[in-house]
Amino acid sequence: MADVVLCPTIGSKSTMSDTLKMMIDELENITNQNQHLSSMSNKSSNVRETTSDVEEEVVIGRTEEIKEIVDTICESITPENKITILPIYGIGGIGKTTLAQLVFSDCRFAGYSRVWVYVSQNLDLNKIGNSIISQLSEESHLAEKQMIHNKLRNVLAGKKTLIVLDDVWEENPDTLNSLKAMVRLGAGSEITIIVTTRDEAIAREICHAVEPYKLGTLTDKICWGIIRQKAALEERVDKEQLEQIGREIAIKCGGVALAAQSLVYILRYMSSDQWESVRDSCIWNLSTQKDPSSRIHNVLASLLLSYSHMPDWLKLCFSYCAIFPKGHCIVKYDLIHQWIALGFTEQSYMFDPMQLCENYARQLLGMSFLEYSKTSSTDRTRRQDKECMYFTMHDLVHDLAKEILSHQINTGGNKCRYALLTDCSSSLKLSVAFPANIKALHFRDCGKQELCGGAFSPAQCLRVLDLSECFIQKLPDSIGQLKQLRVLCAPGIQDKMIPSCVTKLSELNYLDLRCSQKISALPDSIGDMKALLHLDLSYCYEICELPESFAELKQLVHLDLTYCRRISISKSFGGFTNLQYLRLAGQTNIDVDRRELSAVIGNLTKLRYLNLSGSIESMITSDKVDSLLASISTLSSLEHLDLSYNEACSSIPENICNLRKLHTLDLEGCKKLKKLPDRMDQMVSLKVLNLKHVRLEELAVSRFNCASLPRFVVHASGDRCCSNIILLQPTNPVELWIDRLENVMSVEEAHSIKLMEKQKIEELRFQWTVATGRFVDDKEVLKILVPPSSVHILTISGYGSVSIPDWFMDIMQYLPILSQLYLFYFPKCNNLPPLGELPNLQWLGLYYMESLQEWNMGYTSGEEGASELPKLECLTIEHCAKLRIKPCVPRATSLFIRGCDAMLSSWGESPPHNGTSSSPLTQLGVEDSKVPMHEWRLLHHLPALSWLSIVSCSDLTTSPGVIQRLSSLETLCLGSLSLNQAELPRWLVELTSLQELTLRECAITTLPEWLGELTSLKNLEIKHCEGIRSLPDSIQQLSRLENLCIDGCPTLEKWFESKENMMKLAHIKDVQVFPLSDYPPDSDKED
């Protein structure tokens, strides 16, 4: 960390612009000093290509705002108004985009088609239209306005669509009205548009059906919370000394999240004296020309403070990011290779350039100068692999980078070194005055402009050329003139051939030709590219053969042949002894002598990453699998091995335990795998073992010193002093199931895994074994295991404490996007968290909560007419015998009750007349009830009930009042009627709306003649009712009956052998009879 700069050269009347000018001059000096190093070709072969996850930022302090915005949108949508435009406005850096992203991913919009468009200063209606079209259809680019409008009508019509227009600056009312008109083109569609902007005037001009939402600043307390949490203050011995200083720094952040986040990284590694220097820095006192009192000043000041502490190399790497457009998704490894190509790495005897750049990226992420992005690029050649990682930049950070690099990017002077252009069809000389000085050239948004050679050929000193957003019909021959070129990104080439002049690029070390689906061959002389380190041919389906000279690329470090199904190469493939990253996923066919494939792989002695997902069966016969795995086991440098979805892998050889550096082993989907090596517990580096969809005995994995995922079983050590839960510390999976939590030995262990920071987890399950001993009380363990805010699905099972921890009682603050919650086996717990505060909850299950007596469905928001669980679709309650729900029925669509008689009978005869009791519930399932049906008072509260299932209920005697409540019933399923119910209940004839009737596993022996009185019946199913011998003659009276299904009824099956009986069914359109022998026991039960 650089020493704190106290700005000794800045006068008291200096402004932000003065400081920026100093930094621009400084960067130019750094660049000039770096020129002699940049001119040297970096041909290091020790490049580390293993992936590293970057955790998403935890959003702090915006829970209420998310709820308000989503509620506002949902309330605005009515039959009369199906178009809503909600602008969110506020100063830069305050969190508008983050808030829009959270609303965009809210599960209340799960049924919507979703579109994200970054707009920025230049509002181009055609570009916005094309972006919407490309995200909703296969169409990539339309040039004419009328064609765009016609296509928008088509892709928007008749569907629900959520569109976010991020960072709108356009002030012209006519243009904004044209934008509003364009997004209204979908006839009969429900369209919700969220617009983010800094300008209140723009917000008020563009809004429709709702008022604009002003996003206020954060409180000083919340800003301090961001600094305290992300600077890991609790882990420091001087935390008490730092607290007051930190609170004063938080005040200077002016309530802007970005200001606080940009300082956290440098503060984390500073002493208390350095914290004071940051607090007292003169940069806070610099004025801005536009508005010295503006809160935007706080953001710029914090960004400048962070930038001033960067080492020289990091300043070069950061400022270069200005070459990407605002809002652009930057591919991590593309960026790193460009940094290397431009010579932005320091000299080091310990680390190679790739390792240095990995560290630079981590530092920029920590300072919020880069942000991790879930959203990939929307271009036609975007990466498909799950390991690909994307960065983005906040627009204010981008503004800073662009300002610092202003003299070197897209300028007319001779200092211009970088160019970002939007026209690849004309000569570079028309856009850049001194093209010979250009080091990096990117083309963006070129649509279907055909690439011409003059667009780049004058740049004779070019080192980086990115054509990923150009339409490349054919790669021009002039590419061969770029003798200094080191990075060429040219995906999606439409021609069948690559010009041979590419092989003359002797300095090229990065070549990306992915998704060039028509290329059938590579140049014969490709082996001449002695500097080539990285080659991506993924999804080049038509390449049938790699030339013999391909084997001469012995310096290759990264090779991607994903889904190159037709490739045929010689056994000299094994000569790539410097290869560290190899992807052969997707049924790649390597045409070598299959007896020699093991030797070929075994020669790749420097390999660190190997992906053979779903490809082994296509490469070798089943009898050679063990030999191949044995060869892989000799790769002593291997760190990541992906064998997923290879059914040929029935066992893993013992010698794989020789891979001492292996940290990730992916065996997902290897369904035939029966055994793991006995010595895997000796693999000290193994951290992640993915066994999803693999069935192995628990003892087979419990011994290993790694996290078996997604189900991780906690085991206590032999001496009972600790457990293995700490193995979860380095993991961050999408799905995590922590089983046998009763074996956690201390709360410190649970705290050590830092579960709340694992922001990739979407599905999480906690499980204790019921009725076993505990080392730590369940509540104390759950109190520490606070889920990350990213969780969508939460399951807790076997919880043995009486009460629940504070975070669970404040569940909305911790899990704002939770959509599914399941609670099993809470035998002592007598209270529930305020579930009504979860606006996104769609599925809720309560099972075996024997002590739970009451769930108050009253309104907790304090707002008249606001209901609990507004999005709840399905509620399941099983074996909660004492549970009563008050004062009204949950507003779910479906309710399933099993063994909960109090739920059926504890209601009043009539619903309260307060205007809030009307239930939207249309489906009800009841099972294992001993209460007579005429006492099911719940039915009095379900006026819209149309579907009813009754299974294993002992008394179906009813009353006129209950029958009246079933007047709208259309579907009825009766299951497991006992022997004392030898006949169908007579009240069925009073269900005048009944259209579907299913009888399943009933002990009845005859069907009554009055069955013919069910004149509305359209579908009749009789399943596994082995005692029924015949159908009544009155079935001929069911003139509307269209479908009759008999399944697993052997006695009744014989009735159908009579032609006379079949004549009685002549009026039925579809008659199906399935013999019992066709169905094995429990065939229709879930596995």
Q: Are residues 258 and 365 in the same domain?
A: yes
CATH number of the domain encompassing residue 166:
3.40.50.300
253: number of CA atoms within 13 Å, CB side? 31
Task: Tell me whether residue 595 is in a domain.
Answer: no
Q: Are residues 273 and 333 in the same domain?
A: yes
**CA end-to-end span of the chain:** 57
**Beta strands 854-856 and 487-489, pairing class:** unpaired
| Final residue before a domain boundary, out of 177, 192, 214 | 214
Residues 6+ apart with CB under 8 A from 79: none
Q: What's the number of domains the chain is made of?
A: 2
Q: What is the C-alpha separation between 443 and 423, in angstroms, rounded?
A: 7
**pLDDT at position 45:** 33
Q: What is the C-alpha separation between 763 and 761, in angstroms, rounded?
A: 6
Task: Tell me whether residue 149 is in a domain.
Answer: yes
Contact (Cβ atoms closer than 8 angstroms) between residue 498 and residue 523? yes
The phi, psi pair for 373, rounded to 5°, reads -120, 130
950 strand-pairing partners: 926, 974
Which residue matches tokens 């790539």? 576
Task: Tell me whether residue 544 is in a domain.
Answer: no
Q: What is the C-alpha separation between 612 and 208, in angstroms, rounded?
A: 52
Task: Tell me whether residue 327 is in a domain.
Answer: yes
Task: Tell me whether residue 175 is in a domain.
Answer: yes
Domain range for residue 207? 63-214
Residue 559 CB-density burial (10 A; 0-12 exposed, 13-18 middle, 19+ buried): buried
DSSP 872-897: --EEEEES-TT-EEESS----SEEEE
Instruction: Quote the pTM value.
Output: 0.62
Coil vs helix vs strand at 302: helix
Question: Hey, what long-range contacts does 40-46 have (CB within 8 A, 24 or more apart)?
Answer: 40/343, 41/486, 41/507, 41/531, 42/340, 42/341, 42/343, 42/345, 42/353, 42/509, 43/509, 43/531, 43/533, 43/555, 44/352, 44/353, 45/533, 45/555, 45/557, 45/578, 46/352, 46/354
Q: Which two tokens stand for residue 902?
A: 């109090």
CATH number of the domain encompassing residue 367:
1.10.10.10
Coil vs helix vs strand at 131: helix
Q: Are residues 240 and 379 in the same domain?
A: yes
Largest CA distance in the chain: 108
Q: What is the C-alpha separation between 343 and 37, in angstroms, rounded?
A: 6
Residues 6+ apart with CB under 8 A from 75: none
Q: Are residues 113 and 130 in the same domain?
A: yes
Q: What is the C-alpha separation between 745 and 721, in angstroms, rounded?
A: 7
**pLDDT at position 951:** 94
Q: Are residues 168 and 249 in the same domain?
A: no
Task: Tell me whether residue 128 is in a domain.
Answer: yes
Cis, bond preceding 710 (omega within 30 deg of 0): yes
**pLDDT at position 446:** 82
| Final residue before a domain boundary, out of 385, 404, 423 | 404
Task: Tell me whether residue 112 is in a domain.
Answer: yes
Which helix (H) or strand (E) element contains residue 253?
none
Q: What is the C-alpha separation between 555 and 214, in angstroms, rounded?
A: 56
Task: Tell me whether residue 520 is in a domain.
Answer: no
Q: Are residues 209 and 243 in the same domain?
A: no
**pLDDT at position 192:** 92
Nearest Cα neighbor of 299 from 270, 274, 262 is 262
Q: Are residues 234 and 131 in the same domain?
A: no
Q: What is the mean pLDDT of each run of 10 residues along the chain (1087 residues)?
A: 37 53 59 47 33 40 81 83 88 83 78 84 86 81 83 85 90 87 79 90 88 86 82 79 87 81 79 84 62 57 80 91 88 93 87 88 84 55 61 85 85 80 85 86 84 85 92 90 94 91 93 92 92 93 85 91 75 78 76 63 89 85 85 92 89 88 89 84 82 73 74 84 88 90 92 86 94 91 90 94 89 86 93 83 93 71 50 92 82 91 76 53 92 90 91 89 89 84 85 94 90 94 92 94 94 91 93 72 41
Cis, bond preceding 887 (omega within 30 deg of 0): yes
Taking the alpha carbons of 854, 860, 864, 866 in that order, is the dihedral positive or negative?
Answer: negative
10 Å Cβ neighbour count for 195? Answer: 26
Q: What is the C-alpha separation between 669 and 969, in angstroms, rounded?
A: 44
| Final residue before a domain boundary, out of 183, 214, 245 | 214
Give the single-character DSSP code of 282. G
Q: Are residues 209 and 231 in the same domain?
A: no
Q: Are residues 207 and 356 in the same domain?
A: no
Q: Are residues 232 and 125 in the same domain?
A: no
In angstroms, the Cα distances linking 66 to 72, 76, 107, 747, 828 are: 10, 16, 12, 33, 34
Q: What is the C-alpha separation between 1021 and 1029, in angstroms, rounded?
A: 15
Q: Are residues 137 and 286 in the same domain?
A: no
Q: Are residues 242 and 315 in the same domain?
A: yes
